[in-house]
Structure 1
Amino acid sequence: MKSVFKFFLNLLPRPLLIRLSYLIRPLLEFFLRGKKYTDPIDGKGFRTFLPYGYGKQRPNVLSPSTLSLERHRLFWLYLKNETNFFSDHLKVLHFAPEQCFLKRFRKLKNLEYTTTDLLSPIADVKADICHLPFEENSYDVILCNHVLEHIPDDTKAMQELYRVMKPSGWGIFQIPQDLNRDITFEDDSITDKVERAKIFGQYDHVRIYGRDYFDKLRAIGFKVEEVNYTAQLSDEDIDTYRLAKGEIIPVVRK
Protein backbone atom coordinates (compact mmCIF):
# COMPACT_ATOMS: atom_id res chain seq x y z
CA MET A 1 0.00 0.00 0.00
CA LYS A 2 2.85 2.37 0.80
CA SER A 3 4.30 1.86 -2.68
CA VAL A 4 0.90 2.66 -4.22
CA PHE A 5 0.67 5.92 -2.26
CA LYS A 6 4.23 6.79 -3.22
CA PHE A 7 3.46 6.18 -6.89
CA PHE A 8 0.56 8.63 -6.90
CA LEU A 9 2.42 11.12 -4.73
CA ASN A 10 5.22 11.20 -7.28
CA LEU A 11 2.87 11.24 -10.27
CA LEU A 12 0.53 14.09 -9.34
CA PRO A 13 1.51 17.78 -9.20
CA ARG A 14 1.85 19.01 -5.61
CA PRO A 15 -1.01 21.59 -5.67
CA LEU A 16 -3.43 19.06 -7.14
CA LEU A 17 -2.26 16.43 -4.70
CA ILE A 18 -2.95 18.66 -1.71
CA ARG A 19 -6.47 19.42 -2.95
CA LEU A 20 -7.21 15.74 -3.52
CA SER A 21 -5.73 14.84 -0.18
CA TYR A 22 -8.50 16.72 1.63
CA LEU A 23 -11.02 14.48 -0.10
CA ILE A 24 -9.17 11.22 0.54
CA ARG A 25 -7.80 12.13 3.98
CA PRO A 26 -9.95 9.57 5.83
CA LEU A 27 -8.57 6.88 3.55
CA LEU A 28 -5.00 8.05 4.14
CA GLU A 29 -5.56 8.05 7.90
CA PHE A 30 -6.98 4.53 7.79
CA PHE A 31 -4.24 2.89 5.74
CA LEU A 32 -1.32 4.72 7.37
CA ARG A 33 -2.48 4.56 10.99
CA GLY A 34 0.09 3.30 13.45
CA LYS A 35 2.19 4.22 16.47
CA LYS A 36 5.61 5.15 15.11
CA TYR A 37 4.93 8.83 14.35
CA THR A 38 2.50 11.33 15.88
CA ASP A 39 0.96 14.52 14.56
CA PRO A 40 0.87 16.77 17.67
CA ILE A 41 -1.82 18.96 16.13
CA ASP A 42 -4.52 16.29 16.39
CA GLY A 43 -2.66 13.61 18.39
CA LYS A 44 -3.15 10.90 15.75
CA GLY A 45 -0.51 8.22 15.17
CA PHE A 46 0.82 6.78 11.93
CA ARG A 47 3.32 4.19 10.77
CA THR A 48 4.62 6.71 8.24
CA PHE A 49 4.01 10.24 7.01
CA LEU A 50 3.87 11.16 3.32
CA PRO A 51 6.57 12.73 1.13
CA TYR A 52 6.32 16.35 0.08
CA GLY A 53 8.26 18.83 -2.00
CA TYR A 54 8.46 20.77 -5.23
CA GLY A 55 11.00 18.95 -7.38
CA LYS A 56 13.17 17.23 -4.80
CA GLN A 57 10.88 15.58 -2.27
CA ARG A 58 11.36 15.36 1.47
CA PRO A 59 10.32 11.87 2.62
CA ASN A 60 8.07 11.21 5.61
CA VAL A 61 7.05 14.82 6.37
CA LEU A 62 3.38 15.38 5.38
CA SER A 63 0.88 14.33 8.04
CA PRO A 64 -1.91 12.12 6.61
CA SER A 65 -4.51 13.66 8.92
CA THR A 66 -3.89 17.43 9.17
CA LEU A 67 -1.66 17.67 6.09
CA SER A 68 0.80 19.59 8.24
CA LEU A 69 4.49 19.88 7.43
CA GLU A 70 7.48 20.12 9.77
CA ARG A 71 7.12 23.88 10.23
CA HIS A 72 3.43 23.62 11.12
CA ARG A 73 3.98 21.01 13.80
CA LEU A 74 6.88 22.97 15.30
CA PHE A 75 4.75 26.12 15.28
CA TRP A 76 1.90 24.29 17.02
CA LEU A 77 4.14 22.86 19.73
CA TYR A 78 5.67 26.25 20.43
CA LEU A 79 2.28 27.98 20.60
CA LYS A 80 0.87 25.27 22.84
CA ASN A 81 3.77 24.94 25.24
CA GLU A 82 5.40 28.36 25.34
CA THR A 83 2.72 31.02 24.78
CA ASN A 84 -0.63 32.25 26.10
CA PHE A 85 -2.29 31.72 22.72
CA PHE A 86 -4.70 29.05 23.94
CA SER A 87 -5.57 30.64 27.28
CA ASP A 88 -5.67 34.47 27.28
CA HIS A 89 -8.11 36.74 25.51
CA LEU A 90 -6.23 37.88 22.42
CA LYS A 91 -7.03 39.75 19.24
CA VAL A 92 -5.27 37.76 16.51
CA LEU A 93 -4.49 38.53 12.86
CA HIS A 94 -3.48 35.49 10.79
CA PHE A 95 -2.06 35.94 7.29
CA ALA A 96 -2.63 33.27 4.63
CA PRO A 97 -4.25 30.89 7.15
CA GLU A 98 -3.02 27.33 6.92
CA GLN A 99 -5.69 24.64 6.57
CA CYS A 100 -4.29 22.63 9.46
CA PHE A 101 -4.89 25.58 11.83
CA LEU A 102 -7.86 27.50 10.47
CA LYS A 103 -10.80 25.58 11.97
CA ARG A 104 -8.95 24.89 15.20
CA PHE A 105 -8.13 28.55 15.79
CA ARG A 106 -11.63 29.68 14.88
CA LYS A 107 -13.05 27.40 17.56
CA LEU A 108 -10.94 28.95 20.32
CA LYS A 109 -13.34 31.10 22.34
CA ASN A 110 -10.53 33.14 23.89
CA LEU A 111 -9.55 34.59 20.50
CA GLU A 112 -10.88 37.44 18.39
CA TYR A 113 -9.57 35.78 15.27
CA THR A 114 -9.28 37.43 11.85
CA THR A 115 -7.66 35.95 8.75
CA THR A 116 -6.40 37.93 5.79
CA ASP A 117 -4.81 37.31 2.41
CA LEU A 118 -4.78 38.92 -1.01
CA LEU A 119 -5.79 35.81 -2.95
CA SER A 120 -7.00 33.09 -0.58
CA PRO A 121 -10.76 32.40 -0.85
CA ILE A 122 -10.87 31.21 2.77
CA ALA A 123 -9.55 34.45 4.30
CA ASP A 124 -11.94 36.79 6.12
CA VAL A 125 -10.42 39.99 4.72
CA LYS A 126 -8.90 40.36 1.26
CA ALA A 127 -5.92 42.65 1.72
CA ASP A 128 -2.47 43.48 0.44
CA ILE A 129 0.08 42.95 3.22
CA CYS A 130 1.86 46.12 2.08
CA HIS A 131 -1.33 48.22 2.43
CA LEU A 132 -3.38 46.78 5.28
CA PRO A 133 -6.90 48.12 5.97
CA PHE A 134 -6.46 47.86 9.75
CA GLU A 135 -5.94 50.58 12.35
CA GLU A 136 -2.53 50.92 13.94
CA ASN A 137 -1.96 49.15 17.27
CA SER A 138 -4.89 46.78 16.61
CA TYR A 139 -3.66 43.22 17.27
CA ASP A 140 -2.18 41.40 20.25
CA VAL A 141 -0.82 38.59 18.07
CA ILE A 142 0.11 38.45 14.39
CA LEU A 143 0.85 35.16 12.63
CA CYS A 144 2.57 35.53 9.27
CA ASN A 145 4.20 32.30 8.20
CA HIS A 146 5.80 31.58 4.82
CA VAL A 147 4.39 34.78 3.33
CA LEU A 148 7.21 37.34 3.21
CA GLU A 149 9.30 35.31 0.77
CA HIS A 150 6.51 35.97 -1.80
CA ILE A 151 6.45 39.76 -1.28
CA PRO A 152 8.71 41.92 -3.49
CA ASP A 153 8.71 44.84 -1.02
CA ASP A 154 9.12 42.90 2.21
CA THR A 155 10.34 46.03 4.03
CA LYS A 156 6.97 47.71 3.45
CA ALA A 157 5.18 44.52 4.54
CA MET A 158 7.22 44.38 7.77
CA GLN A 159 6.44 48.04 8.44
CA GLU A 160 2.73 47.32 8.06
CA LEU A 161 2.98 44.34 10.42
CA TYR A 162 4.67 46.57 12.96
CA ARG A 163 2.08 49.31 12.51
CA VAL A 164 -0.97 47.13 13.20
CA MET A 165 0.59 45.23 16.12
CA LYS A 166 -0.26 46.54 19.59
CA PRO A 167 2.53 47.78 21.84
CA SER A 168 3.68 44.73 23.85
CA GLY A 169 2.10 42.53 21.16
CA TRP A 170 3.92 39.58 19.66
CA GLY A 171 4.02 37.52 16.52
CA ILE A 172 5.60 34.62 14.70
CA PHE A 173 6.94 35.33 11.21
CA GLN A 174 8.29 32.03 9.87
CA ILE A 175 10.03 31.99 6.50
CA PRO A 176 12.01 29.41 4.51
CA GLN A 177 15.55 30.26 5.52
CA ASP A 178 19.08 29.15 4.72
CA LEU A 179 20.87 29.46 8.07
CA ASN A 180 24.20 28.87 6.34
CA ARG A 181 23.70 32.04 4.31
CA ASP A 182 24.60 35.34 6.00
CA ILE A 183 22.95 37.60 3.40
CA THR A 184 19.54 37.21 1.79
CA PHE A 185 19.72 36.49 -1.95
CA GLU A 186 17.45 38.08 -4.56
CA ASP A 187 17.72 38.26 -8.35
CA ASP A 188 14.80 39.67 -10.35
CA SER A 189 16.59 38.94 -13.62
CA ILE A 190 15.78 35.23 -13.21
CA THR A 191 12.34 34.98 -14.81
CA ASP A 192 12.10 31.36 -15.94
CA LYS A 193 9.79 29.50 -13.55
CA VAL A 194 11.79 26.28 -13.66
CA GLU A 195 15.01 28.14 -12.92
CA ARG A 196 13.37 30.15 -10.12
CA ALA A 197 12.05 26.97 -8.53
CA LYS A 198 15.53 25.47 -8.71
CA ILE A 199 17.22 28.50 -7.15
CA PHE A 200 14.57 29.82 -4.75
CA GLY A 201 12.74 26.61 -3.84
CA GLN A 202 9.48 27.68 -5.50
CA TYR A 203 8.87 29.63 -8.69
CA ASP A 204 6.85 32.26 -6.81
CA HIS A 205 9.47 32.93 -4.14
CA VAL A 206 11.35 36.18 -4.69
CA ARG A 207 14.27 35.58 -2.32
CA ILE A 208 16.19 33.15 -0.17
CA TYR A 209 16.43 34.57 3.33
CA GLY A 210 19.71 34.36 5.19
CA ARG A 211 20.48 35.05 8.83
CA ASP A 212 20.17 38.80 8.16
CA TYR A 213 16.38 38.30 8.15
CA PHE A 214 16.34 38.77 11.92
CA ASP A 215 18.28 42.03 11.71
CA LYS A 216 15.92 43.31 9.03
CA LEU A 217 13.01 42.79 11.41
CA ARG A 218 14.97 44.54 14.15
CA ALA A 219 15.60 47.49 11.84
CA ILE A 220 11.82 47.89 11.48
CA GLY A 221 11.54 48.18 15.27
CA PHE A 222 10.71 44.63 16.38
CA LYS A 223 12.47 42.91 19.21
CA VAL A 224 13.37 39.51 17.78
CA GLU A 225 14.01 36.24 19.56
CA GLU A 226 15.59 33.53 17.42
CA VAL A 227 14.00 30.47 18.99
CA ASN A 228 15.52 27.06 18.30
CA TYR A 229 12.66 25.19 19.91
CA THR A 230 13.85 21.78 18.78
CA ALA A 231 16.84 22.26 21.12
CA GLN A 232 14.36 21.86 24.00
CA LEU A 233 13.05 18.57 22.62
CA SER A 234 14.57 15.12 22.70
CA ASP A 235 15.80 13.47 19.52
CA GLU A 236 13.02 10.94 20.05
CA ASP A 237 10.35 13.67 20.08
CA ILE A 238 11.86 15.37 17.02
CA ASP A 239 11.62 12.10 15.13
CA THR A 240 8.20 11.15 16.48
CA TYR A 241 6.71 14.50 15.47
CA ARG A 242 8.77 14.61 12.24
CA LEU A 243 10.31 18.03 12.88
CA ALA A 244 13.24 19.76 11.18
CA LYS A 245 15.97 19.81 13.80
CA GLY A 246 17.49 23.26 14.20
CA GLU A 247 14.70 25.19 12.46
CA ILE A 248 14.49 28.70 13.92
CA ILE A 249 11.17 30.26 14.95
CA PRO A 250 11.32 34.07 14.60
CA VAL A 251 9.33 35.40 17.57
CA VAL A 252 8.85 39.17 17.32
CA ARG A 253 7.62 41.70 19.88
CA LYS A 254 6.68 45.36 19.69
Structure 2
Amino acid sequence: MKKLFKYILNTIPRPLLIKLSYWVRPLITFAMKGTKFTDPIDGKSFRSFLSYGYAINRENALSPSTFSLERHRLLWLYLQRETDFFTKPQKVLHFAPEQAFYKRFRNQKNLDYTTTDLFSPLADVKADICDLPFEDNSFDTILCNHVLEHIPDDTKAMQELYRVLKPNGMAILQIPQDLERDVTFEDDSIVDEKERTKIFGQYDHVRVYGLDYFEKLRSIGFTVKEEAYTTTFSKEEIEKYCLMDGEIIPVCFK
Protein backbone atom coordinates (compact mmCIF):
# COMPACT_ATOMS: atom_id res chain seq x y z
CA MET A 1 0.00 0.00 0.00
CA LYS A 2 2.82 2.42 0.86
CA LYS A 3 4.46 2.01 -2.56
CA LEU A 4 1.12 2.51 -4.31
CA PHE A 5 0.41 5.62 -2.24
CA LYS A 6 3.82 7.09 -3.06
CA TYR A 7 3.21 6.51 -6.76
CA ILE A 8 -0.16 8.26 -6.56
CA LEU A 9 1.29 11.25 -4.68
CA ASN A 10 4.00 11.73 -7.29
CA THR A 11 1.87 11.32 -10.42
CA ILE A 12 -1.61 12.78 -9.88
CA PRO A 13 -1.93 16.61 -10.10
CA ARG A 14 -2.45 18.12 -6.66
CA PRO A 15 -5.91 19.70 -7.26
CA LEU A 16 -7.26 16.33 -8.46
CA LEU A 17 -5.48 14.55 -5.62
CA ILE A 18 -7.26 16.76 -3.09
CA LYS A 19 -10.65 15.83 -4.53
CA LEU A 20 -9.88 12.09 -4.73
CA SER A 21 -8.51 11.97 -1.20
CA TYR A 22 -11.93 12.55 0.35
CA TRP A 23 -12.99 9.16 -1.07
CA VAL A 24 -9.93 7.07 -0.26
CA ARG A 25 -8.93 8.49 3.13
CA PRO A 26 -11.54 6.56 5.19
CA LEU A 27 -10.33 3.29 3.67
CA ILE A 28 -6.69 4.04 4.47
CA THR A 29 -7.60 5.17 7.99
CA PHE A 30 -9.37 1.88 8.67
CA ALA A 31 -6.66 -0.30 7.11
CA MET A 32 -3.80 1.26 9.11
CA LYS A 33 -5.35 1.72 12.55
CA GLY A 34 -3.20 0.74 15.51
CA THR A 35 -1.60 2.19 18.63
CA LYS A 36 2.02 3.13 17.87
CA PHE A 37 1.62 6.61 16.31
CA THR A 38 -0.99 9.31 16.99
CA ASP A 39 -2.10 12.26 14.91
CA PRO A 40 -2.65 15.12 17.40
CA ILE A 41 -4.98 16.89 14.98
CA ASP A 42 -7.77 14.32 15.27
CA GLY A 43 -6.42 12.07 18.04
CA LYS A 44 -6.51 8.89 15.92
CA SER A 45 -3.78 6.27 16.27
CA PHE A 46 -2.15 3.92 13.76
CA ARG A 47 0.34 1.10 13.53
CA SER A 48 2.30 3.29 11.08
CA PHE A 49 1.99 6.48 9.09
CA LEU A 50 2.47 6.65 5.32
CA SER A 51 5.80 7.48 3.71
CA TYR A 52 6.08 10.72 1.77
CA GLY A 53 8.62 12.69 -0.22
CA TYR A 54 9.90 13.60 -3.65
CA ALA A 55 13.70 13.74 -3.63
CA ILE A 56 13.95 11.97 -0.25
CA ASN A 57 11.29 9.54 0.94
CA ARG A 58 10.45 10.01 4.63
CA GLU A 59 9.01 7.08 6.55
CA ASN A 60 6.01 7.70 8.82
CA ALA A 61 5.52 11.23 7.51
CA LEU A 62 1.89 11.37 6.33
CA SER A 63 -1.03 10.72 8.68
CA PRO A 64 -3.58 8.28 7.18
CA SER A 65 -6.54 10.14 8.70
CA THR A 66 -5.85 13.87 8.21
CA PHE A 67 -3.12 13.62 5.55
CA SER A 68 -1.05 15.91 7.78
CA LEU A 69 2.73 15.99 7.47
CA GLU A 70 5.26 16.62 10.22
CA ARG A 71 5.04 20.40 9.82
CA HIS A 72 1.24 20.38 10.06
CA ARG A 73 1.21 18.38 13.27
CA LEU A 74 3.88 20.62 14.81
CA LEU A 75 1.97 23.75 13.80
CA TRP A 76 -1.29 22.35 15.22
CA LEU A 77 0.36 21.63 18.55
CA TYR A 78 1.94 25.10 18.61
CA LEU A 79 -1.34 26.88 17.83
CA GLN A 80 -3.21 24.75 20.34
CA ARG A 81 -0.76 25.00 23.23
CA GLU A 82 0.99 28.35 22.77
CA THR A 83 -1.55 30.74 21.17
CA ASP A 84 -5.15 31.93 21.43
CA PHE A 85 -5.85 30.86 17.85
CA PHE A 86 -8.72 28.55 18.85
CA THR A 87 -10.35 30.91 21.34
CA LYS A 88 -9.89 34.58 20.39
CA PRO A 89 -12.10 36.14 17.67
CA GLN A 90 -9.85 37.01 14.73
CA LYS A 91 -9.61 37.40 10.98
CA VAL A 92 -7.44 34.69 9.45
CA LEU A 93 -5.91 34.48 5.97
CA HIS A 94 -4.74 30.99 5.01
CA PHE A 95 -2.64 30.47 1.87
CA ALA A 96 -2.83 27.14 0.01
CA PRO A 97 -5.09 25.66 2.70
CA GLU A 98 -4.08 22.18 3.79
CA GLN A 99 -6.73 19.47 4.03
CA ALA A 100 -5.65 18.68 7.57
CA PHE A 101 -6.71 22.17 8.64
CA TYR A 102 -9.31 23.39 6.18
CA LYS A 103 -12.60 22.06 7.64
CA ARG A 104 -11.41 22.38 11.22
CA PHE A 105 -10.50 26.04 10.83
CA ARG A 106 -13.64 26.71 8.79
CA ASN A 107 -15.76 25.31 11.62
CA GLN A 108 -14.07 27.37 14.33
CA LYS A 109 -16.71 29.89 15.41
CA ASN A 110 -14.09 32.36 16.62
CA LEU A 111 -12.41 32.58 13.21
CA ASP A 112 -13.37 34.84 10.31
CA TYR A 113 -11.57 32.51 7.94
CA THR A 114 -10.48 33.28 4.36
CA THR A 115 -8.46 30.95 2.13
CA THR A 116 -6.50 31.97 -0.92
CA ASP A 117 -4.44 30.34 -3.65
CA LEU A 118 -4.08 30.48 -7.43
CA PHE A 119 -4.98 26.85 -8.06
CA SER A 120 -6.34 25.08 -4.97
CA PRO A 121 -10.01 23.99 -5.14
CA LEU A 122 -10.19 24.89 -1.43
CA ALA A 123 -9.40 28.58 -2.01
CA ASP A 124 -12.12 31.18 -1.42
CA VAL A 125 -10.13 33.82 -3.29
CA LYS A 126 -7.99 33.04 -6.33
CA ALA A 127 -5.07 35.42 -5.93
CA ASP A 128 -1.38 35.95 -6.61
CA ILE A 129 0.57 36.19 -3.35
CA CYS A 130 2.63 38.98 -4.94
CA ASP A 131 -0.48 41.06 -5.69
CA LEU A 132 -3.12 40.41 -3.05
CA PRO A 133 -6.64 41.85 -3.43
CA PHE A 134 -6.92 42.79 0.25
CA GLU A 135 -6.67 46.14 2.00
CA ASP A 136 -3.77 47.09 4.22
CA ASN A 137 -3.91 45.82 7.82
CA SER A 138 -6.75 43.36 7.13
CA PHE A 139 -5.87 40.17 9.05
CA ASP A 140 -5.01 39.28 12.63
CA THR A 141 -3.36 36.00 11.65
CA ILE A 142 -1.78 34.77 8.43
CA LEU A 143 -0.84 31.15 7.76
CA CYS A 144 1.42 30.68 4.74
CA ASN A 145 3.16 27.35 4.93
CA HIS A 146 5.48 25.88 2.30
CA VAL A 147 4.45 28.46 -0.29
CA LEU A 148 7.31 30.96 -0.52
CA GLU A 149 9.76 28.37 -1.88
CA HIS A 150 7.56 28.25 -5.01
CA ILE A 151 7.55 32.03 -5.56
CA PRO A 152 10.26 33.57 -7.80
CA ASP A 153 9.89 37.03 -6.22
CA ASP A 154 9.62 36.03 -2.59
CA THR A 155 10.59 39.55 -1.49
CA LYS A 156 7.42 40.94 -3.07
CA ALA A 157 5.37 38.12 -1.54
CA MET A 158 6.78 38.87 1.92
CA GLN A 159 6.01 42.56 1.45
CA GLU A 160 2.41 41.73 0.57
CA LEU A 161 2.08 39.47 3.61
CA TYR A 162 3.39 42.28 5.80
CA ARG A 163 1.07 44.80 4.18
CA VAL A 164 -2.17 42.89 4.78
CA LEU A 165 -1.25 41.83 8.34
CA LYS A 166 -2.70 44.01 11.09
CA PRO A 167 -0.36 45.79 13.51
CA ASN A 168 0.53 43.32 16.29
CA GLY A 169 -0.80 40.52 14.07
CA MET A 170 0.90 37.14 13.76
CA ALA A 171 2.07 35.44 10.56
CA ILE A 172 3.40 31.88 10.57
CA LEU A 173 5.51 31.45 7.45
CA GLN A 174 6.88 27.91 7.40
CA ILE A 175 9.21 26.86 4.59
CA PRO A 176 11.36 23.80 3.86
CA GLN A 177 14.69 24.86 5.32
CA ASP A 178 18.20 23.43 5.32
CA LEU A 179 19.42 24.25 8.82
CA GLU A 180 22.99 23.33 7.79
CA ARG A 181 22.99 26.07 5.15
CA ASP A 182 23.76 29.65 6.16
CA VAL A 183 22.76 31.25 2.85
CA THR A 184 19.69 30.54 0.71
CA PHE A 185 20.50 28.94 -2.64
CA GLU A 186 18.69 29.48 -5.94
CA ASP A 187 19.73 28.97 -9.56
CA ASP A 188 17.29 29.70 -12.41
CA SER A 189 19.64 28.09 -14.93
CA ILE A 190 18.70 24.62 -13.64
CA VAL A 191 15.67 23.72 -15.76
CA ASP A 192 15.63 19.92 -15.86
CA GLU A 193 12.83 18.73 -13.56
CA LYS A 194 14.75 15.73 -12.22
CA GLU A 195 17.76 17.88 -11.46
CA ARG A 196 15.58 20.50 -9.78
CA THR A 197 13.96 17.81 -7.65
CA LYS A 198 17.40 16.54 -6.64
CA ILE A 199 18.73 19.98 -5.73
CA PHE A 200 15.66 21.83 -4.46
CA GLY A 201 13.59 18.97 -3.05
CA GLN A 202 10.76 19.37 -5.59
CA TYR A 203 10.80 20.25 -9.26
CA ASP A 204 8.59 23.31 -8.63
CA HIS A 205 10.71 24.77 -5.82
CA VAL A 206 12.84 27.74 -6.86
CA ARG A 207 15.22 27.86 -3.88
CA VAL A 208 16.55 26.11 -0.81
CA TYR A 209 16.21 28.39 2.20
CA GLY A 210 19.04 28.66 4.68
CA LEU A 211 19.31 30.28 8.09
CA ASP A 212 19.30 33.74 6.47
CA TYR A 213 15.55 33.30 5.85
CA PHE A 214 14.78 34.80 9.24
CA GLU A 215 16.90 37.88 8.54
CA LYS A 216 15.15 38.39 5.22
CA LEU A 217 11.80 38.41 7.01
CA ARG A 218 13.19 40.96 9.47
CA SER A 219 14.38 43.14 6.57
CA ILE A 220 10.75 43.31 5.37
CA GLY A 221 9.72 44.67 8.77
CA PHE A 222 8.60 41.58 10.67
CA THR A 223 9.65 40.85 14.22
CA VAL A 224 10.61 37.18 14.00
CA LYS A 225 10.60 34.54 16.71
CA GLU A 226 12.58 31.46 15.65
CA GLU A 227 10.46 28.91 17.50
CA ALA A 228 12.43 25.67 17.93
CA TYR A 229 9.28 24.07 19.23
CA THR A 230 10.31 20.42 19.10
CA THR A 231 12.74 21.14 21.94
CA THR A 232 9.70 21.30 24.24
CA PHE A 233 8.80 17.66 23.50
CA SER A 234 10.31 14.46 24.83
CA LYS A 235 11.82 11.96 22.37
CA GLU A 236 8.82 9.73 23.02
CA GLU A 237 6.39 12.50 22.06
CA ILE A 238 8.35 13.36 18.91
CA GLU A 239 8.16 9.70 17.86
CA LYS A 240 4.51 9.32 18.86
CA TYR A 241 3.36 12.35 16.85
CA CYS A 242 5.87 11.74 14.02
CA LEU A 243 7.40 15.21 14.21
CA MET A 244 10.56 16.39 12.48
CA ASP A 245 13.03 16.90 15.30
CA GLY A 246 14.75 20.30 15.10
CA GLU A 247 12.22 22.02 12.83
CA ILE A 248 11.96 25.77 13.44
CA ILE A 249 8.62 27.58 13.15
CA PRO A 250 9.03 31.17 11.90
CA VAL A 251 6.51 33.10 14.02
CA CYS A 252 6.37 36.67 12.71
CA PHE A 253 4.74 39.79 14.13
CA LYS A 254 3.99 43.26 12.74
TM-score calculated relative to the size of structure 2: 0.95
- Tell me what 2:201 maps to: 201
Contact map agreement 1:179 1:210 (CA 8 A) in 2: yes
Note if 1:9 corresponds to 2:5. yes
- C-alpha deviations, 1:168-204, integer Å up to 9, x for none? 0011000000010000000000011111111000011
Note if 1:180 corresponds to 2:176. no
Contact map agreement 1:70 1:242 (CA 8 A) in 2: yes
Question: Which amino acid in 2 is paired with 1:116?
Answer: T
Shift of 1:61: 1.1
- C-alpha deviations, 1:49-90, integer Å up to 9, x for none? 011111431111110000111000001000100011000000
Alpha-carbon separation, structure 1, partners of 2:98 and 2:6: 23
Shift of 1:25: 1.4
Q: How does 1:83-102 map to 2 (within 5 A)?
A: 83-102=83-102
> Residues 50, 147 of structure 1: CA spacing in aligned structure 2 closer, same or farther, 3 A cutoff?
same
- Tell me what 2:236 maps to: 236
- Tell me what 1:110 maps to: 110
Alpha-carbon separation, structure 2, partners of 1:28 and 1:119: 26
Alpha-carbon separation, structure 2, partners of 1:88 and 1:15: 40
Alpha-carbon separation, structure 2, partners of 1:166 and 1:66: 30
- Tell me what 2:247 maps to: 247
Alpha-carbon separation, structure 1, partners of 2:9 and 2:171: 33
User: Which segments of 5 or more consecutive residues in structure 2 lack a partner in the other structure?
Assistant: none
Shift of 1:15: 4.9
> Residues 81, 15 of structure 1: CA spacing in aligned structure 2 closer, same or farther, 3 A cutoff?
farther
- C-alpha deviations, 1:106-132, integer Å up to 9, x for none? 000001000011121220001111111
% identical aligned pairs: 67
- Tell me what 1:49 maps to: 49
Question: Which amino acid in 1 is paired with 2:5?
Answer: L
Q: How does 1:28-177 map to 2 (within 5 A)?
A: 28-177=28-177
Identify the range of structure 1 (35-44 vs 11-20) with the bigger mean alpha-carbon deviation. Answer: 11-20
Question: Which amino acid in 1 is paired with 2:220?
Answer: I
Contact map agreement 1:9 1:17 (CA 8 A) in 2: no
Question: Which amino acid in 1 is paired with 2:186?
Answer: E
Contact map agreement 2:55 2:202 (CA 8 A) in 1: no
Question: Which amino acid in 2 is paired with 1:6?
Answer: K
Shift of 1:21: 4.2
Contact map agreement 2:230 2:245 (CA 8 A) in 1: yes
- The DSSP-based 3-state class of the residue aligned with 2:12 is helix
Contact map agreement 2:56 2:201 (CA 8 A) in 1: no
Alpha-carbon separation, structure 1, partners of 2:243 and 2:143: 20
Contact map agreement 2:62 2:68 (CA 8 A) in 1: yes
User: Which segments of 5 or more consecutive residues in structure 1 lack a partner in the other structure?
Assistant: none
Shift of 1:24: 1.8
Number of residue pairs the alignment of both structures matches: 250
TM-score calculated relative to the size of structure 1: 0.95
Backbone CA RMSD of aligned residues: 1.3
